[in-house]
Structure 1
Amino acid sequence: MSSRRLANGAQLIDFSDAEGGTRRYARAANFSAEWIVPAMGEVAVESAEEAIVVLPGGGEIAAAGWRHRAEGPSVAIVPPGRFAVAADAAAAVVLATDRPDLDDAAALNAGGVADPRIAPVGVPFARRVPLTAPLVLPIDAIPVPPDNGRLRFVQSATISINIVVYDGPRGRTALSPHEHDAIEQGTLAIAGDYVHHLRAPWGRNADAWLEDVHLDAPPGSLLLIPPRLIHTTEGVGAGAHVMLDIFAPPRRDFIAKGWMANAADYAAPPA
């Protein structure tokens, strides 16, 4: 396991190179991401808000009073409280904004300085009907936007994710470099190899300009992208590519466009 901080403010965390029983997680400004491999068995989790659990190879989620099994690639919105996660054929990912069971000082990327440009989560979205057990969605069944079959969008009360799925390399003539003003983005590679392209905008002082970065990212790597850093990600090589883009709080612009598959489950707080 490793963590690397770049001069442009981005961080690359590698979850993949550790023994099976080792807890591995990273801390972003507004969320944590824990990587749970099958060899770890059933792993206890506690979340003060709804959590998002991604099970790319299937697995189980259980708590007092309920147990849910996902036979294939799935994503689950899990109610607050204590539960357990076990991954089957591939690592599971637990995303949450408030994990009282995790020590931030033990995160792989511990010791960073808070970025004041990142807007806080604020008031959570309000679920219209409280969850008493997980809402488990097969990834293939999540609707896609009419003009982009690669993307699927899901939210919890405090997080939203884009699940990006495609086969083969992503065309180099169809990349989407962009930046965010007050948002930190997490990009987690689940399957396939990637190159993250990062560009720091130029200011008036040429002595402060930074070189572009073209960063190799294998499965099990998490890139944390700070505000105002131009970025795009290119899937390289053959085979399946599965990637998560992670945001906290949920992306209101994606909700407004009608892309968020489960947006109707929530009432948004005042902007």
Structure 2
Amino acid sequence: MYDDTDPRSTLAATARPRPESGEAIAAPQYFDFRELSAGSGPSVEERTAVVRGQNVILIHTFARPGDQLDNGTLDNELAVVATAGSPAFDVVTVEGSTRVEGAGLVVVPPGSSHISVLGEGPLVRLVEAGETTWSGLAANAGSYEQHHPRVALLERWPTPPGGNRVRVYPLSKVADEPGRFGRIFRTRSFMVNFLPESNGPRDPKKLSPHTHDDFEQLSLAVQGEFFHHIRTPWLGDSTAWRDDDHVRIGSPSAAIIPPPTVHTSEAYGPGVNQLVDIFSPPRVDFSEKPGWVLNADDYPMP
């Protein structure tokens, strides 16, 4: 799965057995946000694309100065993924306004809120799949009319000890640390891993195919181009077998990778390439690694 230089090679084996009920394995899904929304459209709605996984909804907006992104009134937290290309913005709740500048993760408490955009660039919001304000808007809503039985359902992790409030986690305050995999933050419902920027194509002789037992991975491409290589294991029903995927896609885009497919992503672009991985619920194996989750004190494990 991983070579000795990959920090994931030290992960403990999962304690949850892989579901072997014979249920069909869901198909991977791929979304190019420049095809799902108009990057130059006049309205926020035209410049926004919504896709979902089993437990999480991803909202991608090509934001412009003066945009007011209404989050609705939510039952649980919302997370904002700000990348190197994202604009500055204000998070506005009933408690007041919080200015955000630079890449990082922002957690917005439950209730009503909106985002006031101060520049131009992409902004990504994450909400739980059960939020009715957003669930019907997903381009792939039909893929989840029935629960995917191989994906564990979301059970929220504990409430933050400091209570609900806007929390900002800037990447600029995170120093590189050998042996840590990416820059990982979690909320009660999500885990977001900002993987390092890479220059040029990945060495095709050093890929890392692996599987997940019972959770989806949303792989968000924020810079560059990637090949997503995904293999669906064979079950007894040969009519459901699939050819391997080798899907080339640019950014911004998202790949939804279902369990227990074998998968790896290969940076392909000649310039800067970067992925952000999203999981819901948060991963236990990553959380058990000391120092990997950068806001663990704010969001304790169950």
Identity of aligned residues (%): 29
- C-alpha separation in 1, matches of 2:193 and 2:251: 17
Structure 2 counterpart SS, 1:140: helix
Judged with a 3 Å threshold, the aligned counterparts in structure 2 of structure 1 residues 241 and 148 are, in CA distance, closer, same or farther, namely: farther
State the 1:193 CA deviation: 0.9
Equivalent in 170, 175, 185 of residue 154 of structure 1: 185
State the 1:16 CA deviation: 1.8
- C-alpha separation in 1, matches of 2:154 and 2:176: 26
Please say if 1:106 is aligned against 2:137: yes
Judged with a 3 Å threshold, the aligned counterparts in structure 2 of structure 1 residues 125 and 58 are, in CA distance, closer, same or farther, namely: farther
Q: Which segment is superposed worse, 115-124 or 226-235?
A: 115-124
Q: Which segment is superposed worse, 84-93 or 239-248?
A: 84-93
State the 1:111 CA deviation: 1.0
Check whether the contact 2:157–2:300 (CA below 8 A) recurs between aligned residues: no
Equivalent in 12, 22, 45 of residue 30 of structure 2: 12
Q: Which segment is superposed worse, 228-237 or 172-181?
A: 172-181
Check whether the contact 2:186–2:299 (CA below 8 A) recurs between aligned residues: no
Check whether the contact 1:186–1:225 (CA below 8 A) recurs between aligned residues: yes
Question: 1 or 2, which has the higher strand percentage?
Answer: 1
Q: Which segment is superposed worse, 53-62 or 26-35?
A: 53-62
State the 1:143 CA deviation: 4.9
Give the structure-2-normalised TM-score. Answer: 0.79
State the 1:145 CA deviation: 5.0
- C-alpha separation in 2, matches of 1:81 and 1:238: 43
Judged with a 3 Å threshold, the aligned counterparts in structure 2 of structure 1 residues 37 and 86 are, in CA distance, closer, same or farther, namely: farther
Please say if 1:178 is aligned against 2:210: yes
The Cα offsets for residues 196-255 of structure 1, whole Å up to 9 and x where unpaired, read as 001112346666543211001211211111111111111112222222111111111101
Q: Which segment is superposed worse, 33-42 or 151-160?
A: 33-42
RMSD: 2.2
- C-alpha separation in 2, matches of 1:197 and 1:145: 28
The Cα offsets for residues 18-69 of structure 1, whole Å up to 9 and x where unpaired, read as 2332242112110100012113811100332122101222321222332222
- C-alpha separation in 2, matches of 1:246 and 1:99: 18
- C-alpha separation in 2, matches of 1:145 and 1:202: 39
- C-alpha separation in 1, matches of 2:147 and 2:26: 15
Check whether the contact 1:62–1:84 (CA below 8 A) recurs between aligned residues: yes
Check whether the contact 2:52–2:141 (CA below 8 A) recurs between aligned residues: yes
Total equivalences in the alignment: 260
- C-alpha separation in 2, matches of 1:145 and 1:108: 38
Which sections of structure 1, spanning at least 5 residues, go unmatched? 1-6
Equivalent in 228, 241, 249 of residue 260 of structure 2: 228
State the 1:131 CA deviation: 2.9
Match of 1:80?
Answer: 110
Check whether the contact 2:79–2:107 (CA below 8 A) recurs between aligned residues: yes
Match of 2:95?
Answer: 65
The Cα offsets for residues 132-158 of structure 1, whole Å up to 9 and x where unpaired, read as 2x2112223235552257x11000111
State the 1:91 CA deviation: 0.8
- C-alpha separation in 2, matches of 1:247 and 1:70: 23
Give the alignment of 1:141-220 within 5 angstroms. Answer: 141-148=173-180, 151-168=182-199, 169-203=201-235, 209-220=241-252
Structure 1 counterpart SS, 2:31: strand
Give the structure-1-normalised TM-score. Answer: 0.87
